[in-house]
Structure 1
Amino acid sequence: MALRQISVRVPMQGADHGKVFVITRMPAMEADQWGRHCLQAAIASGADIPGLDEDAGLAGLAAVGLGIFGAMDPQRMDGLIERLMRCVSVQPDPRNTAVRRPLDESDLEEILTVGWLQKEAFALHVDFFKGVGPLFSLLSALLQTEPSAPPPDAPM
């Protein structure tokens, strides 16, 4: 099965307006490792981020959000964002979707585009957790239930 990809077109006015980028989701194991590394970097910085668990992987990163990068040591943050941006490729001719190449610094002329593209890449990797958030709450409740106790939804 192919990794999920999305095409995004820069909506903001400016030199990058209309440029098309393709973002490819990391393989699951790699994405989970990247998520854990992000969480560990934030924890190592001493930031007080409620609910932060270094073993939570991508699900924990989704819960904390993109702001986690602001809590990190700049060197670690740069490395983790650089890893995320390796998922982005450029589609130089929007009419020819078959032609793509890796993102290069020279492809982005506007600072706003850099942040927007980082947000889009981050969202591709964590947005699916938003829809299953309630499942994590139920799973957590079930894991905390004593083995001899009936499940929380068992009839009385």
Structure 2
Amino acid sequence: MARKTKLVTIAAEGRDKGKCFLIREMPAMQSEKWAIRAILALGRADAEVEDAAVQGGAMAVLASLPMTVLMSLRRMNFEDAEPLLDEMMSCVAFVPDAAKTVPGTDQPFTRPLNTAGDDGDIEEVATLLTLRSEVIEVHVGFSPAAALSSLGSAAQRSASSPSPTPTSPESSEPLSDAA
């Protein structure tokens, strides 16, 4: 069976708008090793991982705790994070023309991602974040961007909706002094 792929077209305004990228799932052994290294790095950052998730395997940990993982990433050392981030981008290829496909397939022609400074394929930090989120989604089935968006939407709904806690009706009778 073929590896999962996802064609991503950048929709956000900016220099990368309209550019296409193909995300390709890592082979199982590479993916598991990546996930284990990520879990160990998260552990060094004091992330709490439930035992049930650990028993489900490395990718299950990452899939089951999206918000815990996302919140723990900010405490990781860059020395731990950099090789993980670099390996994530190895799943990304540039698609010069999404309309041109490899003969006999529905896959677009791709070329390796050019990350050489000003001449690179990616010119916006937001594009990097989008692509990293899509790499995670291809591998574990959740999108960190969607998780953060859902969290933000839930917070907005919570802040704008009336409290579900019932309150006592106001009494129309004056209070009397009890002696």
Q: Same fold, TM exceeding 0.5? A: yes
Does residue 51 in structure 1 map to residue 50 in structure 2? Answer: yes
Listed one character per residue, the Cα deviations across residues 25-47 of structure 1 (whole Å, up to 9, x for unaligned) are 011222111111100011123x2
Q: Percent identity?
A: 30
Listed one character per residue, the Cα deviations across residues 46-77 of structure 1 (whole Å, up to 9, x for unaligned) are x2435277674111011222514323211111
Q: Which protein has the larger Cα radius of gyration, Structure 1 or Structure 2?
A: 2
Give the Cα separation in 1 of the matches to 2:86 and 2:54: 20
Listed one character per residue, the Cα deviations across residues 117-144 of structure 1 (whole Å, up to 9, x for unaligned) are 110111111107xxxxxxxxxxxxxxxx
Partner secondary structure for residue 97 of structure 1:
coil
- Judge conservation of contact 1:43–1:54 (CA < 8 Å) in 2: no
1:81-120 equivalence runs, <5 A: 81-98=85-102, 99-105=109-115, 106-120=120-134
TM-score (normalizing by structure 1): 0.73
Listed one character per residue, the Cα deviations across residues 92-115 of structure 1 (whole Å, up to 9, x for unaligned) are 122223321111221111111111
Partner secondary structure for residue 109 of structure 1:
coil
**Aligned residues, how many?**
127
Does residue 123 in structure 1 map to residue 133 in structure 2? Answer: no
Partner secondary structure for residue 74 of structure 2:
helix
Residue 151 of structure 1 is matched in structure 2 by none
Does residue 63 in structure 1 map to residue 67 in structure 2? Answer: no
* Structure 1 residues 8 and 50: alpha-carbon distance in aligned structure 2, compared to 1, 3 A threshold: same
1:126-145 equivalence runs, <5 A: 126-127=140-141
Does residue 73 in structure 1 map to residue 77 in structure 2? Answer: yes
| Cα RMSD after superposing both structures | 2.0
1:18-57 equivalence runs, <5 A: 18-45=18-45, 47-51=46-50, 56-57=57-58
Partner secondary structure for residue 133 of structure 2:
helix
Partner secondary structure for residue 125 of structure 1:
helix
Give the Cα separation in 1 of the matches to 2:84 and 2:26: 13
Partner secondary structure for residue 104 of structure 1:
coil
- Judge conservation of contact 2:7–2:23 (CA < 8 Å) in 1: yes
Does residue 15 in structure 1 map to residue 15 in structure 2? Answer: yes
Give the Cα separation in 2 of the matches to 1:114 and 1:58: 22
Give the Cα separation in 2 of the matches to 1:7 and 1:92: 12
